[in-house]
């Protein structure tokens, strides 16, 4: 880098673009610049990259840094909302399935990777959501890429909320259809696009998330339905951050909002509330058959291990019979939000158990995260490409397993460090 060139941005997602604008296109140069940015961030927050959890996720975990340093932390980075990865009945049923089915599935669905227990799970998910069929994928990412590349075709139009997950944008981009992003949760913007473009396309798909993964905002589904009735598009809803703990017996936020029957495609990962791996799309049988016969990640990717189907089935048993679990999660979410708001944090429009604390300056964000980690509180700094430029934040995922004491410790540490860094003025009201 020459002396008169400005320093590259710290957010790793922006480095390559900044290099491109400077005309630095060569791979090794780009990789070296990204490596240098990583080192600058790691110097601020040694725990931020290349960490591992010694014994996996729970409300607390031993975090091991790249340097080998270890620390017991309250963990706010994992999406196992109900803590079912630690539930004895779930673990026991998974072990029994391992003994019956062995470990890996060994093949994609059409060549025999699909087992009896996958079939039981697919049928149960379809029944639970009141849809004709559910198709299983190896991950939620693969489900979105497959569905949004396989359902729309050349000539069609796909409109996605700007905050939709990367897998949804990648799917739409692969489909050959025209795709555009509307402003986040802005149905007036969506309606303008529909009014302008609708007549020119045989099929229009609108893709949203029920709860957005980086902001914790909920989708205004009732209003969206009114728009759907007026414009007649196909609605695709990713319930990754609501399936299992919103709606009756965990059926999700579409169910809670009373719109589930009108949603054409419901999708979710199985790695969050249901504590396993995999994804699904539920909808009309003929649409699922079309996908099954055309989606490359269905045809050419191994099924997730059969024992994980048992994990999800066991998790669904817990979700359907133990409604106290979701209640505990929502109570923790309310409690943490109340404490943070009283301390003076602006939580914006977020509502779900994902709590963003916005810190626009990336270096300050990493400094805050590092100080918290030193105090045994581990939360994820999110910068580009996870969020757009200037929208960086510290993200807390609340679970049913967090205790009030852990929430209190976390909020107290956050208040202390945010004040020291000038991010939080004296509290408006405390206690
Ligand atoms: C909204 C959303 N959809 C899909 C996915 C991908 O799910 P998976 O981790 O199962 O690939 C995620 C994961 O972070 C997500 O947040």
Q: Which domains does the chain have, with CATH numbers?
A: 51-80+324-420 (3.90.1150.10), 87-321 (3.40.640.10)
Question: Is beta strand 354-358 parallel, antiparallel or unpaired with respect to 393-397?
Answer: antiparallel
Q: Which residues pair with 355 in a beta bridge?
A: 396
* pLDDT above 70: residue 322: yes
Distance 268 CA to ligand 1 centre (A): 8
pLDDT tens for 269-290 read: 999 999 999 999 999 999 999 9
- Between 311 and 1, residue with greater pLDDT: 311
Judged by average pLDDT, the poorest of 142-156, 249-263, 300-314, 382-396 is: 382-396
pLDDT reported for residue 4: 55
pLDDT reported for residue 1: 47
Residues of the chain above pLDDT 70, percent: 97
Distance 213 CA to ligand 1 centre (A): 8
The arithmetic mean of pLDDT across residues 251-272, rounded, is 98
pLDDT band at 427 (very low <50, low <70, confident <90, very high): very low
CA-wise closest residue to 255 among 283, 223, 231, 222: 222
Distance 431 CA to ligand 1 centre (A): 37
State the burial class of residue 430 (Cβ atoms within 10 Å of its Cβ: 0-12, 13-18, 19+): exposed
* pLDDT above 90: residue 429: no
- 142 Cα nearest atom in ligand 1: 11
* pLDDT above 60: residue 356: yes
- CA distances (Å), 164 to each of 66, 181, 239, in order? 31, 9, 11
Q: Tell me the best of 213, 218, 241, 387 to mutate to test the pocket of ligand 1, counting ligand atoms within 8 Å of each CB and taking the most.
A: 213
* pLDDT above 60: residue 66: yes
Following DSSP, what letter does each residue of 358-420 receive, concatenated?
Answer: E--SHHHHHHHHHHHHHTTEE-EEE-TTTS-TT--EEEEE--TT--HHHHHHHHHHHHHHHHH
The arithmetic mean of pLDDT across residues 345-368, rounded, is 95
- Between 58 and 42, residue with greater pLDDT: 58
Q: Determine the Cα–Cα distance for residues 272 and 286; give it in Å rounded to an integer.
A: 28
Judged by average pLDDT, the poorest of 13-22, 311-320, 369-378 is: 13-22
pLDDT reported for residue 150: 95
Distance 321 CA to ligand 1 centre (A): 25
Q: Tell me the best of 271, 354, 380, 387 to mutate to test the pocket of ligand 1, counting ligand atoms within 8 Å of each CB and taking the most.
A: 271
Contact 329, 250 (CB under 8 A): no
The arithmetic mean of pLDDT across residues 204-212, rounded, is 98
The arithmetic mean of pLDDT across residues 131-142, rounded, is 98
pLDDT reported for residue 11: 77
The arithmetic mean of pLDDT across residues 198-224, rounded, is 95
Pocket of ligand 1 from Cβ distances under 6 Å = 139-141, 144, 165, 167, 209, 213, 238, 240, 269, 271, 279
- CA distances (Å), 394 to each of 34, 66, 276, 362, in order? 21, 21, 25, 10
Nearest Cα residue to atom 16 of ligand 1: 213
The arithmetic mean of pLDDT across residues 2-20, rounded, is 73
Nearest Cα residue to atom 10 of ligand 1: 140
* pLDDT above 80: residue 431: no
Distance 343 CA to ligand 1 centre (A): 31
The arithmetic mean of pLDDT across residues 156-166, rounded, is 97
pLDDT tens for 334-344 read: 999 999 999 99
Distance 144 CA to ligand 1 centre (A): 9
pLDDT reported for residue 13: 75
Distance 367 CA to ligand 1 centre (A): 27
For the chain, counts of helices (H) and of strands (E): 15, 14
Q: Tell me the best of 81, 167, 270, 382 to mutate to test the pocket of ligand 1, counting ligand atoms within 8 Å of each CB and taking the most.
A: 167
Contact 391, 332 (CB under 8 A): no
Contact 140, 268 (CB under 8 A): yes
Angle between helices 285-294 and 140-150 (to 10 degrees): 100
Distance 201 CA to ligand 1 centre (A): 29
- 279 Cα nearest atom in ligand 1: 10
pTM for this structure?
Answer: 0.95
pLDDT band at 426 (very low <50, low <70, confident <90, very high): low
Residues of the chain above pLDDT 90, percent: 81
The arithmetic mean of pLDDT across residues 123-149, rounded, is 97
Question: Is beta strand 204-209 parallel, antiparallel or unpaired with respect to 234-238?
Answer: parallel
- 79 Cα nearest atom in ligand 1: 14
Question: Is beta strand 234-238 parallel, antiparallel or unpaired with respect to 265-269?
Answer: parallel
The arithmetic mean of pLDDT across residues 163-186, rounded, is 97
Strand ranges of the sheet holding 377-378, from the earlier edge strand across to the other edge: 52-53, 60-64, 70-75, 377-378
Distance 269 CA to ligand 1 centre (A): 6
CA atoms within 13 A on the CB side of 182: 23
pLDDT band at 5 (very low <50, low <70, confident <90, very high): low
């Amino acid at each position: 880098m020459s002396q008169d060139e400005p320093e590259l941005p710290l957010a790793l997602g922006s480095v390559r673009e900044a290099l491109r604008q400077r005309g630095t296109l060569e791979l090794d140069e780009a990789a070296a610049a990204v490596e240098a940015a990583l080192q600058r961030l790691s110097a601020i927050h040694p725990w931020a990259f290349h960490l591992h959890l010694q014994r996996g996720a729970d409300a607390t975990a031993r975090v091991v840094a790249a340097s080998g340093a270890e620390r017991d932390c309250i963990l706010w980075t994992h999406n196992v909302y109900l803590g079912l990865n630690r539930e004895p009945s779930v673990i026991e049923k998974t072990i029994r399935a391992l003994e019956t089915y062995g470990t890996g599935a060994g093949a994609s669905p059409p060549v025999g990777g699909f087992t009896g227990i996958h079939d039981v799970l697919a049928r149960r998910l379809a029944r639970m959501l009141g849809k004709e069929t559910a198709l299983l994928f190896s991950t939620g990412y693969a489900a979105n890429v497959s569905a949004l590349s396989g359902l729309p075709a050349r000539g069609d139009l796909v409109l996605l909320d700007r905050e939709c997950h990367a897998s949804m944008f990648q799917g739409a981009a692969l489909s050959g259809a025209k795709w555009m992003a509307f402003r986040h949760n802005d149905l007036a913007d969506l309606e303008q696009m529909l009014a302008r473009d609708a007549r020119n396309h045989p099929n229009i798909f609108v893709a949203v998330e029920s709860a957005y993964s980086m902001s914790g905002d909920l989708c205004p589904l009732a209003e969206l339905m009114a728009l759907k009735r007026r414009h007649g598009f196909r609605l695709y809803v990713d319930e990754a951050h609501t399936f299992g703990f919103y709606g009756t017996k965990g059926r999700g936020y579409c169910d809670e909002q009373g719109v589930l029957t009108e949603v054409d495609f419901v999708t979710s990962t199985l790695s969050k509330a249901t504590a396993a791996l995999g994804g699904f799309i539920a909808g009309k049988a003929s649409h699922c058959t079309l996908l099954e016969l055309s989606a490359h990640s269905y045809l050419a990717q191994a099924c997730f291990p059969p024992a994980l189907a048992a994990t999800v089935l066991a998790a669904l048993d817990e979700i359907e019979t133990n409604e106290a679990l979701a209640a505990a999660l929502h109570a923790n979410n309310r409690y943490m939000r109340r404490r943070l708001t009283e301390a003076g944090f602006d939580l914006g429009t977020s509502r779900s158990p994902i709590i963003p604390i916005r810190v626009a300056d990336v270096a300050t964000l990493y400094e805050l995260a590092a100080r918290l980690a030193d105090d045994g509180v581990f939360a994820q700094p999110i910068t580009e490409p996870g969020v757009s430029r200037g929208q960086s934040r510290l993200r807390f995922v609340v679970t049913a397993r967090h205790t009030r004491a852990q929430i209190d410790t976390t909020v107290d540490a956050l208040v202390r460090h945010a004040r020291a860094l000038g991010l939080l003025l004296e509290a408006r009201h405390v206690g």
